[in-house]
Amino acid sequence: MSQNALAAGLADLGLSLPETAQQKLLAFRDLLLKWNKTYNLTALRDPAQAISHHLLDSLAILPHIGAGDLLDVGSGGGLPGIPLAIVKPELSVSMVDTVQKKTTFLQQAVIELGLKNVTVHHARVEEMQGQYAQISSRAFAEIGLFISLTRHLLAPNGRWLAMKGVRPDDELKALPADIAVEAIIPLTVPGLDAERHLIILKAGS
């Protein structure tokens, strides 16, 4: 049943994924729910709901992911970082979280799923080094805070990808003058009856 639900959801998103990637997505979902019993990684307990609310929700931003290295901030249970890494094996994905038990889970998921393109960091993002073409977050923080904590990590011409529920107009109004909103994209996630938006931002000169 899970496989049919995932395949139907992917088709609704206009995504065509090889069988191996679909199996890996479901294996990740199972791993997340298994570890969740001890580690409290997500509020969701229902395997069917996890397909729409976690896997498909993460993959809804896939058309807007570029080719450069991606940093996923406050990864928690690995969303959207791990689903993106599964379906785009050529994409280098780094995930960072301050909570040790979450990074322990992420490290284990990377090993069990054989994800050669993922690096896990147990760190405070403001203390990290490096340059990333894309920096994503899902339910991590208010957009202004997300940008101020990660600005030193954004490569020249890089983009922030902030995943939000309802359109965060107040957060956008409060942004510094040199931050440009490149796009506000409403997302429709199959099986998820709630507003979703992807906010793409750039640093001005």
pLDDT level of residue 205 (50, 70, 90 thresholds): low
The answer to whether the annotation marks 74 as part of a ligand binding site is: yes
The answer to whether the annotation marks 138 as part of a ligand binding site is: yes
Q: Which amino acid is at 110?
A: V
Reported as a single tens digit per residue, the pLDDT across 49-105 is: 999 999 999 999 999 999 999 999 999 999 999 999 999 999 999 999 999 999 999
pLDDT over 90, % of the chain: 91
Angstrom distance (rounded) from CA 160 to CA 125: 14
Domains belonging to the chain, first-starting first, are 2-203 (3.40.50.150)
Determine how many CB atoms are found less than 10 A away from the CB of residue 12: 14
Reported as a single tens digit per residue, the pLDDT across 125-140 is: 999 999 999 999 998 8
The answer to whether the annotation marks 196 as part of a ligand binding site is: no
Angstrom distance (rounded) from CA 158 to CA 85: 19
Average pLDDT, the chain: 95
Angstrom distance (rounded) from CA 64 to CA 36: 29
Note the pLDDT of residue 133. 98
Reported as a single tens digit per residue, the pLDDT across 99-124 is: 999 999 999 999 999 999 999 999 99
